[in-house]
Amino acid sequence: MSRIVIDSEKCKACYLCIKECPKNLIRVSDKTNKLGDRIVEFNDPDGACLGCALCATRCPDLAIKEVYKG
């Protein structure tokens, strides 16, 4: 199963990754990081992630640090 790993301390809450994901698997979390930014989280209850890495490529802060293609 494909999945991503987000480095919450690098996330700047720009939310570009949310728009980029073709499966709408990234959402705004209710958590904040140490900088006070409202981070994003990966939400994929049905295992729909393609492992396409579009989200990681779009992130200007390299906060999506791993993409596992399953």
Q: Does 16 bind ligand SF4 (CB under 6 A)?
A: yes
Q: Does 61 bind ligand SF4 (CB under 6 A)?
A: yes
Q: How many residues bind ligand SF4 (CB under 6 A)?
A: 30
- Cα–Cα distance measured from residue 49 to residue 30, given in angstroms and rounded to the nearest whole number: 22
Residues 29-48 that bind ligand SF4 (CB under 6 A): 40
What residue ranges bind ligand SF4 (CB under 6 A)?
Answer: 2, 4, 6, 11-17, 20-23, 25-26, 40, 49-55, 58-59, 61, 63-64, 67
